[in-house]
Amino acid sequence: DNPLKNAPHTAAELVGEWSHPYSREQAVYPLETLIDAKYWPPVGRVDNVFGDRNLVCACPSIESYA
């Protein structure tokens, strides 16, 4: 149970009940540079590792740009 394995932390998760051994501050701002430019993800991981490794592109094909 660590900040990297559970990332990204959503805003809803942060304001709810906190059951992790690390602080909310460490989860939200692991780097000082994020304090001014924080991106709040709307959802956590999709399908955990499967969703991270099997990306689906919804872009048009390369030929349509020609």
**For 22-54, how does the pLDDT look when each residue is reduced to its tens digit (9 = 90+)?**
999 999 888 888 888 888 887 777 776 777 777
pLDDT of residue 20: 93
Nearest Cα neighbor of 29 from 21, 19, 37, 18 is: 37
The two three-digit tokens of residue 25, written as one number: 């501050």
pLDDT of residue 44: 78
pLDDT of residue 55: 75
